[in-house]
Structure 1
């Protein structure tokens, strides 16, 4: 096949191949995705996408708050639910941003890591021909030993040195790029650790009341709130049981907490029953889970005796209202009382419930609305009785700590006269001959049981992230060059046979480089013992500048 020729006989250039538009689109898209600008944009979008998860109630954390949000905003809640706002961290859009950020970071880091490794293996570049054009410039007397002596001084100061005959090149400050890469690699490791925790981690909250009859075993059904990863099955939860044996709390005179400690009985498969202590800052560490102490309170024991003389006891935690005296509110419900002994049928209109306020240290005089101290110095419970249909048979989920006020407003529940203050051992006889008695209290603790397989990786990654950030912030890339045997200039030391011309170049913004260069030149000049440097150029350099040297050369040429 012969080449095509034009009229002059010169072969015409071969026609250029048109690039494949699909490959070009993919290549350009990959370049845009792996650019640092895109990575910063995705990081910003990830922070913005996390706002709904912090502002709006999340179904996996507190489904009751989601239900209350539906009741408060019936028009807005369905729209937010369709876009995944009540499950923000598991939504499609959050996962898409997360994966794109992960891909962008990997695409940014790998080429930079390759180039950085190549730069570390390369020797410093040769000195330029005109050292006087560098930001820092000086002449000094040649030390004994010449270029090797200069290289030895630089190596002592941890410079990477290359000697080429009478020229010495040195560079320093690779810590900046190393720290930058460590920072971004650590950020990728943080994202991986977060993904491991989201996929294979789980957590649950539980109120544990003292006593063997209130023991807790690690099953999903026994948690009040759970957040279990999509890759975790119920059978993957470790099998252990906890029993609250003792809880100790000490407070200062003003009610400020001083010390908390919980002692629990731990039963694990294949091990003997044992007791273990843990506190707020010292969790209980078990195989496959950590148990954290979040809070504590009181669970009043309230016994109700119905019309047939049958007694039932309620031991339900009363939730604290947030004051320093541990004032608590709760509900003692008795839906299975007043059963007809002849037929065995339960009349739903004769169910009983008592809303109450528990005061560990009740005031001596009314109003009995707030406890004066968080420990039980004068315990009392302030009860309001209700009779009627509690609405539990409808199958609608509800709180065990509050009475359904819809039953009261519709008249299905009737309040029984005035509220009553009971102290331990006191009994309240109602209008129908039934009675309610305050027996005392048990302590309860609030537990958070968690397993995060990425926590160790997250901790180590955050440590490296800080180290890399410090390196990238305080590392400064710079180079210096020395040429032995430079032509003597005006103002050179008297009697010096040869000079060393020095030049310095900061690769990044480094305000202190002029001082560092001057100190380095002085150290090498002292090694020669022939005098001080004849000229140091630069923004803050001392001695004669480049302009003074040029004027000196001009005068020499004129003479």
Structure 2
């Protein structure tokens, strides 16, 4: 009965309430294991951005995936894999890692400065129990041992018959700086995302570009970027050159050797024009804004004369690469102003035409040695260009409209692949299609990132600090002098470095037993 009454009177332990849950969540988030896990997820989440084409870097390849495999493209889009670094899940990892690092750094910094002010502890009474131990009979005194250890750059503390010395604080410094540099790297990335911008544009030979928002095919500004923030430069693509291997090892024929774009650049509206050769990994930089060459392809130049004898279309048509090895490309041409009906064509560009196995035509080389255009289909009707609904330039019309279009049955008038300068007449007096010449296009990424230099400095600091953290070890040396005999002991405070400290301890003992000679 007494036991039961005592159990009833005993206080009930407090429950795990909201405050306790918040404390547990914060401790878990700011633990070293969580920080390492988030850092691993951060690196793992970057892999899809390298393997899957990104809209901000390769919009033409993204469009090609939508054309070839719309189901896979839809799943990629659902998980934001075409915009990995702008996705919600990547931003969540980024913010959690940032919070975790701040929670790790603040207490570690406090502990670090406390350690810097703390003097070495007193020497243990029994040095023989330390991992490294020896006895000297040369009559070493406390004052001499302290002086010699200071010359070895130890922090020294002396007492009644003992000397305590400590060294290797740069290890903790490197550890802390590594975490600070990771935080600085995240801050630099954030600065670039808020105050920087990126954009993509496709430019055909003999055409120009001015750095304005309207000129971009895709523009991704930071939150603090306005139209006035853009650097007012412009350029014209004078000529694009691509070279491919033509001899030697047959397995390497057709491999790309070099890509270069010859530009006429104006750094500002009133600035003089200058020549610049843009190459891969050699961007054009103007006041911090960098222009990168990221892709190229062919843009056949066509002229369409409608049934009334009017030129309904005249210009270059960028073609989407279907087979990178030979640069066989698909082209879509629309002439919405043609009369009496709109005209559209599905075509294939062959840089170096050759017979295909099983009939038809293909390309045997990526360079335009024998360019031809093969007309795959011709259509007339309302393509929905003026409906206000956005359309891809690489699609003739949306699927529901394509079903309503009237295909032009060319019959015996269907042409063989057209060479530059050749043309063919459309049936029913609808006009004429002429393949005039071959031009090339290039895709550019134009980026301004004010966090680029801070990120580079943070990455360099992280590299140096991690070297300090891995190479330098924390170690202590103790000396006890009694009755003319000096006892020396040593240990390390770093796991796994005891074996490496044995040689250093032997050298320290030699210095301490150097007689009356001063150590230089």
TM-score (norm 2): 0.81
Contact 2:177 2:462 in 1 (8 A): yes
Contact 2:421 2:437 in 1 (8 A): yes
In the TM superposition, what are the counterparts of 1:149-160 in structure 2 within 5 Å?
149-160=144-155
C-alpha change, 1:419 and 1:202, in structure 2 (3 Å) is: farther
Partners of 2:440 and 2:270 in 1: how far apart? 29
Aligned counterpart, 1:471: 468
Contact 2:284 2:292 in 1 (8 A): yes
Which SS does the other structure have where 2:297 is aligned? strand
Contact 2:348 2:376 in 1 (8 A): no
Aligned counterpart, 2:363: 371
C-alpha change, 1:317 and 1:525, in structure 2 (3 Å) is: same
Contact 1:173 1:477 in 2 (8 A): yes
In the TM superposition, what are the counterparts of 1:416-431 in structure 2 within 5 Å?
416-417=410-411, 418=414, 420-431=416-427
Aligned counterpart, 1:172: 167
Partners of 1:149 and 1:362 in 2: how far apart? 89
In the TM superposition, what are the counterparts of 1:353-502 in structure 2 within 5 Å?
353-363=344-354, 367=359, 369-389=361-381, 390-404=383-397, 406=399, 407-417=401-411, 418=414, 420-433=416-429, 434-484=431-481, 486-487=482-483, 498-502=484-488
C-alpha change, 1:94 and 1:332, in structure 2 (3 Å) is: closer
Partners of 2:195 and 2:72 in 1: how far apart? 34
C-alpha change, 1:227 and 1:523, in structure 2 (3 Å) is: same
C-alpha change, 1:318 and 1:157, in structure 2 (3 Å) is: same
Contact 1:408 1:414 in 2 (8 A): no
C-alpha change, 1:446 and 1:527, in structure 2 (3 Å) is: farther
Structure 1 position 278, deviation (Å): 1.9
Structure 1 position 200, deviation (Å): 1.8
Which SS does the other structure have where 1:355 is aligned? strand
Aligned counterpart, 1:39: 35
Aligned counterpart, 2:314: 313
Partners of 1:119 and 1:372 in 2: how far apart? 70
Which SS does the other structure have where 1:370 is aligned? strand
Partners of 1:218 and 1:169 in 2: how far apart? 66
Partners of 1:91 and 1:154 in 2: how far apart? 56
Partners of 1:76 and 1:442 in 2: how far apart? 35
Which SS does the other structure have where 2:417 is aligned? strand
Structure 1 position 517 matched with structure 2 position 515: no
Q: Deviations over 1:28-76 (max 9, x none)?
A: 6655554434434554665677789889998888697999899749998
Structure 1 position 120, deviation (Å): 2.5
Structure 1 position 252 matched with structure 2 position 245: yes
Structure 1 position 452, deviation (Å): 1.3
Bigger mean CA offset, 362-371 vs 116-125: 362-371
Contact 1:57 1:66 in 2 (8 A): no
Aligned counterpart, 2:304: 304
Partners of 1:97 and 1:278 in 2: how far apart? 36
Contact 2:328 2:351 in 1 (8 A): yes
Partners of 2:67 and 2:153 in 1: how far apart? 65
C-alpha change, 1:224 and 1:416, in structure 2 (3 Å) is: farther
Partners of 1:34 and 1:264 in 2: how far apart? 51
Structure 1 position 292 matched with structure 2 position 292: yes
Contact 2:56 2:200 in 1 (8 A): no
Aligned counterpart, 2:250: none
C-alpha change, 1:303 and 1:245, in structure 2 (3 Å) is: same
C-alpha change, 1:72 and 1:402, in structure 2 (3 Å) is: same
Q: Deviations over 1:4-41 (max 9, x none)?
A: xxxxxxxxxxxxxx9xx998887666555544344345
C-alpha change, 1:219 and 1:45, in structure 2 (3 Å) is: same
C-alpha change, 1:401 and 1:66, in structure 2 (3 Å) is: closer
C-alpha change, 1:50 and 1:362, in structure 2 (3 Å) is: closer
Structure 1 position 401, deviation (Å): 2.3
Partners of 2:144 and 2:397 in 1: how far apart? 89
Larger-Rg structure = 1
Q: Deviations over 1:137-194 (max 9, x none)?
A: 11023367x4454345434443333444653322122222111101100111011112
C-alpha change, 1:423 and 1:472, in structure 2 (3 Å) is: same
Aligned counterpart, 1:535: none
C-alpha change, 1:100 and 1:304, in structure 2 (3 Å) is: closer
Partners of 2:64 and 2:190 in 1: how far apart? 26
Aligned residues between the structures: 483
C-alpha change, 1:393 and 1:372, in structure 2 (3 Å) is: same
Partners of 2:466 and 2:365 in 1: how far apart? 48
Structure 1 position 279, deviation (Å): 0.8
Structure 1 position 440, deviation (Å): 0.9
Structure 1 position 90, deviation (Å): 5.4
In the TM superposition, what are the counterparts of 1:67-466 in structure 2 within 5 Å?
72=71, 95=91, 98-142=94-138, 146-164=141-159, 166-211=161-206, 214-253=207-246, 254-267=253-266, 268-311=268-311, 312-338=313-339, 347=340, 350-363=341-354, 367=359, 369-389=361-381, 390-404=383-397, 406=399, 407-417=401-411, 418=414, 420-433=416-429, 434-466=431-463
Q: Deviations over 1:501-524 (max 9, x none)?
A: 100021122132223222321343
Structure 1 position 411, deviation (Å): 4.4
